[in-house]
Structure 1
Amino acid sequence: MSNFKRPRKLQRGDRIAVVSPSWGGPNVFPAIYETGLEKMRAQLHLEPVEFPTARMAPDRLAQNPKLRADDINAAFADESIAGIFVSIGGDDSARILPYLNTELILANPKLLLGYSDTTTLLSYLSSQGLVTFHGPTIMAGIAQIESFGDQYKAHLVRLLFSSGQTYEYAPYQAYAEGYPDWAIPENLGKVNVLTQNSGWDWLQKGEDKQGYFWGGCIEVLEFLKGTDFWPARSFFDDKFLLLETSEEVPTPDQVMRILRNYGLQTILDRIQGLVIGRPRGYSEEQKLALRQVVKQIVVDEYGRSDIPIILNFDIGHTDPQFIVPFGVKALISSANARVALVEPIFRKNEPEGNSNAF
């Protein structure tokens, strides 16, 4: 089993720290935030514990990056807290990284769940040796848990509560892009129109590979390049690079330039595979252009005809999305169109919880 520090799995009744390391969304849209907390209790049987930043006003959060880091540090230090869920994303959580107590965090591994701007925390702490969890936030994903049927809830329960030895990902049957206006009470917990999911797009089959997922929101990762919070190049030797685009809809040409930067860093030479999430807000023409861009940069310019490349993966800014742990060994089998976790997510010798009681 890999040497990443693993948290324990969650159990019914666990106390979960709720933090806002990015934008003060709960202060702006309290009703959808409250809906997310209610779904944590009713659907996942977890007890949210709001830390000081949880409902803090956006301007105060923006002015005080250390306060946000203090909440993260305190949540990891608190022995009564089993995990940490992020309220929502934003655009400046990179500013809290210098204030993290990394030594304390690694000494007290816990389940940290989020995506979008939380990419800064997930990617950095993963590079330091902690298993982190790329997945839904309270306001965007958990509040809408009842809109997606049994498959989504079963996935969340399996990835958060189970001590199983392996896990096989399967595409969701349908997906939605965004949510109706959160200011209207009738919209709480709902999503925009559901679209039939065409499944994953295997741009290139390549060889079967094993490795560890790492990455997140492609625009947010740009904040970290060239800083002390960006991994050494050798870190990427056994990684599946996982990328997704935000609701700001970066153009295929912008993605091309970002990917070319990964190539110049020798990262594309090193990775074991590339997985790109289903883009939000793209037209069919943009999706085709993105496909062409990925092939141009990764295969044609950098010669990686050997690795699996998957597009339209169920992560990121469309719903529902997978929980993908960073630091748990995974398999991508092109021959069998499989993506699977092939070792336990959580640390050994944990008592079996109540994941079957949902």
Structure 2
Amino acid sequence: MIKPKRLRSGSKIAIISPSAGLPYLFPEIYELGIKNLQDHLGLEIIEMPTARMSPDDLYNNPQIRADDINKCFEDDSIDGIITSIGGYESVRILPFLDTKTILANPKFIMGFSDATTFLTYLNQLGMVTFYGPSVMAGLAQIKSLPSEYTEHLKAILFKDSFPYTYSSFEKWTNGYKDWSNLETLGECEEFHHNETGWTFLQGSSTKQGYLWGGCIEVLEFTKSTIYWAKESFWEDKILFFETSEDKPSPMQVGYMLRNYGMQGIFSKIKGVIFGRAKDYSEEEKLKLNEIIVEIIQGEFGASDIPIIVDFDFGHTDPKLILPLGCQVELNPITKEIILLESPFY
């Protein structure tokens, strides 16, 4: 894989809005996220033209959004890129990405949710990309989240201590308090204690593979397009999926998984990781777990690969960073998930 240069204190990070124009609508929470990147992570921030652009201008100009990404990779003074927030149609920017320039100048690029489109596509072309928090969702809330979260961000982005063993956070939340209420700006909704960590639904032996995935609903946008992975790509992958605030039902998630089975993907991969499903009741989580196993193991016979659920990434917080293209180890015996290699060169 093509890896970016490691970040450090003082690295210049460009902020882009490749999807929704929420910084335009909620500037205070956006600015708090910028401040946290500066104060807590020591990063220097550069705002690209799309960062605060209006929702209508962004929607009507997918090429402008792609141009921002292209310019970030062209500019030698920029060390990395973080999205302001997600959205729902960044798939429209893919035709305008200058992939030759991007791959020739690899850089740290991180987002989640709708960023799944270009993170997975660039990874398929050979570059490590990062599934993790955005400025407004995950970084603006740093002071309200457990201190272990900031330690995790620094460990992945700045340190060179690999292999790195992921740890579950002691508490988590489904979302944030109203962004228009300045008195509670950056605060989270009710926290839930995480006493058991994540769960291995199946698996009896250790497996190693290369991370790839994102928001399972967003991945539906690229299926059967030229931006979907070729058949040979799926060998030795560990897929990770999470669900959005739209809250697809357990059965709808099952429909999406069945498509992967029909492509023969479950016979090639080494494991599956599911993020904690946002806003699901305990009953709905149990039903989702049942459907996941029923389809992957029952319908498509993949009974020997580990399946993990309730992993700390995606649309709940705190969010762990998952680097697409890097090798991880899933150990059902010790219940460990280990990032075996550095995502940076």
Q: TM-score range by the shorter chain?
A: over 0.9
Deviation at 1:315, TM superposition (A): 0.8
Alpha-carbon distance in 1 for matches of 2:136, 2:47: 14
Residue 217 of structure 2 aligns to which amino acid in structure 1? E
Residue 199 of structure 1 aligns to which amino acid in structure 2? G
Deviation at 1:238, TM superposition (A): 1.1
Alpha-carbon distance in 2 for matches of 1:81, 1:324: 22
Deviation at 1:16, TM superposition (A): 0.4
- Could you tell me which of 331, 335, 340 is aligned with 1:337? 335
Alpha-carbon distance in 1 for matches of 2:266, 2:28: 43
Are the aligned partners of 1:27 and 1:55 in contact in 2 as well (CA < 8 Å)?
yes
Q: Which residue of 2 aligns with 1:180?
A: 177
Q: Which residue of 2 aligns with 1:38?
A: 35
Deviation at 1:165, TM superposition (A): 2.8
Q: Which residue of 2 aligns with 1:104?
A: 101
**SS, match of residue 16 in structure 1:** strand
- Could you tell me which of 219, 222, 225 is aligned with 1:224? 222
Q: Which residue of 2 aligns with 1:324?
A: 322
Alpha-carbon distance in 1 for matches of 2:203, 2:260: 21
Q: Which residue of 2 aligns with 1:8?
A: 5
Deviation at 1:336, TM superposition (A): 1.4
RMSD of aligned residue pairs (Cα, Å): 0.8
Are the aligned partners of 2:202 and 2:306 in contact in 1 as well (CA < 8 Å)?
yes
Alpha-carbon distance in 2 for matches of 1:39, 1:186: 17
Alpha-carbon distance in 1 for matches of 2:146, 2:315: 19
Per-residue CA distance 1:46-102 (angstroms, 9 max, x = gap): 011000000000000000000000000000111000000000000000000000011
- Could you tell me which of 271, 274, 286 is aligned with 2:284? 286
Q: Which residue of 1 aligns with 2:254?
A: 256
**SS, match of residue 223 in structure 1:** coil
TM-score normalised to the size of structure 2?
0.99
Q: Which residue of 2 aligns with 1:246?
A: 244
- Could you tell me which of 153, 162, 166 is aligned with 2:163? 166
Residue 88 of structure 2 aligns to which amino acid in structure 1? D
Residue 175 of structure 1 aligns to which amino acid in structure 2? W
Deviation at 1:206, TM superposition (A): 3.2
- What percent of counterpart residues are identical? 49
- Could you tell me which of 201, 204, 207 is aligned with 1:203? 201
Are the aligned partners of 2:34 and 2:45 in contact in 1 as well (CA < 8 Å)?
yes
Deviation at 1:189, TM superposition (A): 1.2
Q: Which residue of 1 aligns with 2:24?
A: 27
- Structure 2, unaligned runs of 5 or more: none
Alpha-carbon distance in 2 for matches of 1:344, 1:53: 31
Q: Which consecutive segments of 4 or more residues in structure 1 shift more than 6 A?
A: none
**SS, match of residue 221 in structure 2:** helix
Deviation at 1:164, TM superposition (A): 2.3
Alpha-carbon distance in 1 for matches of 2:146, 2:288: 30
Alpha-carbon distance in 2 for matches of 1:201, 1:333: 11
**SS, match of residue 71 in structure 1:** helix
Residue 163 of structure 2 aligns to which amino acid in structure 1? T
TM-score normalised to the size of structure 1?
0.95
Alpha-carbon distance in 1 for matches of 2:60, 2:157: 33
Deviation at 1:40, TM superposition (A): 0.6
Q: Which residue of 2 aligns with 1:54?
A: 51
Alpha-carbon distance in 1 for matches of 2:342, 2:114: 27
More off after superposition, 135-144 vs 159-168: 159-168
Per-residue CA distance 1:1-60 (angstroms, 9 max, x = gap): xxx110111111111000000000100100000000000110011011000000000000
Q: Which residue of 1 aligns with 2:271?
A: 273
Alpha-carbon distance in 1 for matches of 2:162, 2:175: 34
How many pairs does the alignment contain?
344
More off after superposition, 19-28 vs 159-168: 159-168
**SS, match of residue 209 in structure 2:** strand
**2:69 aligned with 1:72, yes or no?**
yes
Are the aligned partners of 1:206 and 1:305 in contact in 2 as well (CA < 8 Å)?
no
**SS, match of residue 224 in structure 1:** coil
**SS, match of residue 241 in structure 1:** strand
Are the aligned partners of 1:178 and 1:192 in contact in 2 as well (CA < 8 Å)?
yes
Are the aligned partners of 1:13 and 1:45 in contact in 2 as well (CA < 8 Å)?
yes
Alpha-carbon distance in 2 for matches of 1:165, 1:47: 26
Alpha-carbon distance in 2 for matches of 1:173, 1:9: 28
Deviation at 1:338, TM superposition (A): 1.0
Q: Which residue of 2 aligns with 1:310?
A: 308
Q: Which residue of 2 aligns with 1:95?
A: 92
Per-residue CA distance 1:308-353 (angstroms, 9 max, x = gap): 0000001100000100101111111112111011122210xxxxxx
Per-residue CA distance 1:124-154 (angstroms, 9 max, x = gap): 0010100000000000000001112320000
Residue 47 of structure 2 aligns to which amino acid in structure 1? E
Alpha-carbon distance in 1 for matches of 2:110, 2:267: 29
Alpha-carbon distance in 1 for matches of 2:302, 2:231: 17
- Structure 1, unaligned runs of 5 or more: 348-358
Are the aligned partners of 1:163 and 1:345 in contact in 2 as well (CA < 8 Å)?
no
**SS, match of residue 27 in structure 1:** helix
Are the aligned partners of 2:177 and 2:186 in contact in 1 as well (CA < 8 Å)?
no
Are the aligned partners of 2:113 and 2:214 in contact in 1 as well (CA < 8 Å)?
yes
**SS, match of residue 210 in structure 1:** strand
Q: Which residue of 2 aligns with 1:351?
A: none
